[in-house]
Amino acid sequence: MTTITRTSTCNLCEAICGLRLELTDGAVTAVRGDPEDPLSRGHICPKGVAIADVLVDPDRLRAPVRRRGPVEDPTWEEIGWDEALDLTADRLSGIVNEHGADAVGVYLGNPNVHSLGSMTHGAALAKAIPTRNRFSATSVDQLPHQLLAHLMYGHQLLLPIPDLDRTELFLAFGYNPMASNGSLMTVPDFPARLRELKARGGRMVVVDPRRTETARVADEHLFIRPGSDVHVLLAMARVLITEDLARPAAYVDGLDRVAAALADRTPERAERASGIPADRIRALARELATAGRAVVHGRIGVSTTEFGTLAQWGVQLLNLLTGNTDRVGGAMFTTPAIDVVGRGLVGRGHRGVWHSRVRGLPETSGELPVAVLSEEIETPGPGQVRALLTMSGNPVLSTPDGARLDRALGGLDFMAAVDFYINETTRHADVILPPTSHLERDHYDLVFNALAVRNTARFSPAVFAKSADQRHDWQIYAGLVRRLGQRLERRSSVRKRLVTRARLAVSPTRTVALLLRTGSSKVTLRALRRAPSGIDLGPLREGRLPDRLHTRDGRIDAAPDLVLDDLSRLDAAVAPPAGSLQLIGRRHQRDNNSWMHNAERLTRGRARHQLLMHPQDLASRSIADGSRVRVASAVGSVVVEVQASEDMMPGVVSLPHGYGHGRPGSRMHRAASVEGVSINDLTDTEILDVSGNAGLSGVVVTVTAE
Ligand SMILES: Nc1nc2c(c(=O)[nH]1)N[C@H]1C(S)=C(S)[C@@H](COP(=O)(O)OP(=O)(O)OC[C@H]3O[C@@H](n4cnc5c(=O)[nH]c(N)nc54)[C@H](O)[C@@H]3O)O[C@H]1N2
Ligand SMILES: Nc1nc2c(c(=O)[nH]1)N[C@H]1C(S)=C(S)[C@@H](COP(=O)(O)OP(=O)(O)OC[C@H]3O[C@@H](n4cnc5c(=O)[nH]c(N)nc54)[C@H](O)[C@@H]3O)O[C@H]1N2
Ligand code: SF4
Ligand SMILES: [Mo]
């Protein structure tokens, strides 16, 4: 027996923890956190330990498959790569040539941002099909953040990151990092970092309709009615202004318009909407202004609401008005070794360049809200989506009214998926093209290094070499782009095509080497290879503004028109009827969106799929704890077990996100602990934020005994 140790990266979630793998005779025998990693400092979570389970999972696809027979009862036939790529390119180009590019829809799921190859080569594939029907998980996640960053800071990815390691007051809305390991702040080892915050005399306050794992370890928890954060955040900003506590930087414009817009948004009004006492709202705002180092962060529970952009605007305002933006302990801008923003590797963003065909909703930075995907497939006429290409992801479980999308997918002429599982979405595909998985590919994180609480860089070479009959995702994309180029009747010049081909032939790792060499960080790929645990580039740096801004005038507009205009929609919104129930989602530490439920080590133990409901709400409906209930919304209903929980705010119920593997033909396992239903069979494609983000949180439901 020979045992060796290898250093790697877990890129299953935004925390990008460093790993130490123990390999015995070529098999992974232990997975631990890497104590020498300057960012993750030895942290690992149960999913990181399970990363090797994906490799050996018999359900993981290793070769392309073609579906024969119906979706519910299919035969999946293994085919060769050339045949699979030819077939996919033939069918997609045939549909484009006959019906136009908009007839092909493209959906990019969350795992794309976790794959280097997708980051370097995915855009070329998306571009090869010049369709307006481009969708991604962004519009069920962080679209408000990107829209605001575009409008206020001039670039969609110029996102201020809480300086958690140095702050004295951390105010978190709709954020549960004890389960999620952080989001839009790459923060591995959140538990230890929170302990350090407390040890230096700091405080964390959590605002959430559920007493979450994070609320339990915070210094204070405030229950809030789902969807009402916008009122609290704006009222807090108003307190700063009316009590003369605002100290914004000199390069912030539009403050008079902000003051006017907030004039009647009093804490009393916020109390009526949210349930948080007006005095508490005032005190929090004052504390924020006087704490010295303080920062506000809002995530999924705030982003995925009907007024997600207005609420996230409130977050930005609080950090700007207290002077905590770009300041140590506040909301800071990172200095990554590869600066995707500064070097223009990702565009600044745009809005409304085109609109969706059926509902006329504007695109944001090249994509339409995924909430319109079903109607674009269902509605006949020129531009109807007839074929779909998904690149990782599972929109049947992860986007609003998934049941409707599930039906719509059944009506497509053709569907292809780049994925290594047959999930609730890819089961509809005619062809599935499975790339190598995490430990089989090189990794450098272009995205999350740029969103991290500390500047570091790390390159992890593949732990396992891929076999000759496997393909990396970027090779699949390159193969498809080349074939589509040959088949599409387009005007693009031969020269342009040759350039694209040459660029696609460059591997992601060589691209990283080039970007490092030509960047200003002095970090090289060779240096990273010699330091497999990563190189520390130090804490976040203050004073980066206004130079770092990408706005045309080099200043911040605190009052973008698009945002102010949405206030009238907020004022016209009707509160949920008294006595009604609102549904929110939740994440468990051992879940990873809609997948990894095949891993035994993540699914053994106590069931966690239940609808959580306050005992009072159960009693008033004469429903017994543990019984089966029907949960119904305006769009659908599901039947699931209910569990009494004092951690829920009365009037609010919760289902986990990413469950509901019961659909026939799916090969995502259904261990008893994660059996259950999809929360998105209840969410509504009509409830949308102004950004186009889905309003997933706070949907009004009824719960009745079955
Ligand atoms: N274990 C695990 N980790 C993950 C993931 C996973 O699936 N599992 N997914 C990853 C992904 S893709 C992302 S984007 C991040 C997300 O990371 P987080 O934003 O931390 O996501 P959640 O854990 O869903 O936390 C959202 C919280 O918002 C609360 N909430 C719901 N509605 C409202 C509301 O109206 N107002 C307020 N104030 N709170 C509300 C919920 O109760 C919940 O506690 O996690 C990442 N990490
Ligand atoms: N109600 C409700 N809905 C939500 C959320 C919520 O909190 N509540 N959260 C939203 C959020 S934040 C997100 S990010 C979305 C996620 O939604 P999606 O991105 O649509 O779904 P995932 O579950 O992340 O995608 C899982 C699929 O990706 C595949 N995959 C994993 N890694 C790779 C890879 O490296 N390459 C390829 N090609 N495929 C891979 C897996 O095999 C699996 O089939 O869900 C959103 N939906
Ligand atoms: S926290 Fe995220 S990155 Fe770290 S081990 Fe867990 S899943 Fe992997
Ligand atoms: Mo996400």
Is the distance from the beta carbon of residue 297 to the nearest atom of ligand 1 less than 6 Å? no
**Region 388-412: what's the mean pLDDT?**
98
For 92: left if phi > 0, alpha if psi spans -120 to 50, otherwise beta; the answer is alpha
Centroid of ligand 4 to alpha carbon of 141 (angstroms): 5
Mean pLDDT of the chain: 96
Q: Which ligand is closest to the CA of 633, given by its number?
A: 2
**Region 538-549: what's the mean pLDDT?**
97
Nearest to 346 by CA among 337, 355, 334, 338: 338
Handedness of CA 267, 268, 270, 275 (dihedral sign): positive
Nearest to 261 by CA among 566, 551, 574: 566
**Region 109-134: what's the mean pLDDT?**
94
Residues 202-241: tens digit of each pLDDT = 999 999 999 999 999 999 999 999 999 999 999 999 999 9
Centroid of ligand 3 to alpha carbon of 386 (angstroms): 37
Centroid of ligand 4 to alpha carbon of 410 (angstroms): 26
Which pLDDT score, from 0 to 100, does residue 492 have?
60
Token pair listed for 308:
């997600």
Confidence of residue 500 (pLDDT cuts 50, 70, 90): confident
Which pLDDT score, from 0 to 100, does residue 675 have?
85
pLDDT of residue 650 exceeding 70, the answer is yes
Ligand 3, atom nearest to 45 Cα: 6
What torsion, rounded to 10 degrees, do the Cα atoms 154, 157, 158, 159 define?
130
Token pair listed for 458:
């790390």
pLDDT of residue 156 exceeding 60, the answer is yes
Helix 229-242 vs helix 278-290: angle between axes, to the nearest 10 degrees?
60
Centroid of ligand 3 to alpha carbon of 183 (angstroms): 12
Contact residues of ligand 3, CB 6 A cut-off:
10, 12-13, 15-17, 44-45, 47-48, 181, 188
Centroid of ligand 3 to alpha carbon of 512 (angstroms): 23
Handedness of CA 570, 573, 574, 580 (dihedral sign): negative
Handedness of CA 269, 273, 277, 279 (dihedral sign): negative
pLDDT of residue 499 exceeding 90, the answer is no
Token pair listed for 233:
């955040």
Q: Which ligand is closest to the CA of 592, given by its number?
A: 1
Q: Which ligand is closest to the CA of 13, given by its number?
A: 3
Mutation choice for ligand 2 from 304, 398, 674, 683, CB with most ligand atoms inside 8 A: 398
Which pLDDT score, from 0 to 100, does residue 321 have?
98
pLDDT of residue 491 exceeding 60, the answer is no
HEC string for 4-28: EEEEEECCCCCCCCEEEEEEECCEE
pLDDT of residue 520 exceeding 70, the answer is yes
Is the distance from the beta carbon of residue 209 to the nearest atom of ligand 1 less than 6 Å? yes
**Residue minimizing CA distance to atom 6 of ligand 3:** 45
**Residue minimizing CA distance to atom 5 of ligand 3:** 48
**Region 356-377: what's the mean pLDDT?**
98
* E strand or H helix at 654: strand 652-656
Cα-based distances in Å from 638 to 129, 151, 424, 618, 659: 37, 39, 16, 17, 12
Which pLDDT score, from 0 to 100, does residue 134 have?
97
Cα-based distances in Å from 144 to 111, 137, 140, 315, 566: 20, 13, 10, 11, 13
**Spatial separation of the C-alpha atoms in residues 653 and 665, rounded to whole Å:** 30
Residues 617-633: tens digit of each pLDDT = 999 999 999 999 999 99
Centroid of ligand 1 to alpha carbon of 392 (angstroms): 20
Centroid of ligand 3 to alpha carbon of 192 (angstroms): 14
**Residue minimizing CA distance to atom 11 of ligand 2:** 141
Ligand 1, atom nearest to 227 Cα: 35
Confidence of residue 336 (pLDDT cuts 50, 70, 90): very high
Is the distance from the beta carbon of residue 266 to the nearest atom of ligand 1 less than 6 Å? no
- Answer yes or no: are the C-beta atoms of 224 and 275 closer than 8 Å: yes
Which pLDDT score, from 0 to 100, does residue 521 have?
93
Confidence of residue 260 (pLDDT cuts 50, 70, 90): very high
Ligand 1, atom nearest to 697 Cα: 32
Confidence of residue 488 (pLDDT cuts 50, 70, 90): confident
Please state whether beta strands 431-433 and 65-68 pair in parallel, antiparallel, or not at all (unpaired).
Answer: antiparallel
**Region 259-273: what's the mean pLDDT?**
98
Mutation choice for ligand 3 from 37, 40, 44, CB with most ligand atoms inside 8 A: 44
**Region 542-562: what's the mean pLDDT?**
98
Which pLDDT score, from 0 to 100, does residue 496 have?
73
Mutation choice for ligand 1 from 43, 136, 176, CB with most ligand atoms inside 8 A: 176
Which pLDDT score, from 0 to 100, does residue 501 have?
76
pLDDT of residue 103 exceeding 90, the answer is yes
Catalogue all structural domains in the chain, each as residue range(s) with its CATH number: 3-56 (3.30.200.210), 67-133+368-435+481-487 (3.40.50.740), 143-336+545-568 (3.40.228.10), 575-706 (2.40.40.20)
Token pair listed for 464:
């396992």
pLDDT of residue 286 exceeding 70, the answer is yes
Q: How far apart are the first and last CA of the chain?
A: 57
Q: What are phi and psi of 385, to 5 degrees?
A: -75, 115
Contact residues of ligand 2, CB 6 A cut-off:
109-111, 115, 137, 140-141, 300, 391-395, 398, 418-421, 423, 435, 473, 585, 593-595, 657-658, 679-680, 683, 696
**Spatial separation of the C-alpha atoms in residues 221 and 210, rounded to whole Å:** 9
What's the burial of 69, exposed, middle or buried (CB within 10 Å: 0-12/13-18/19+)?
Answer: exposed
**Region 277-293: what's the mean pLDDT?**
97
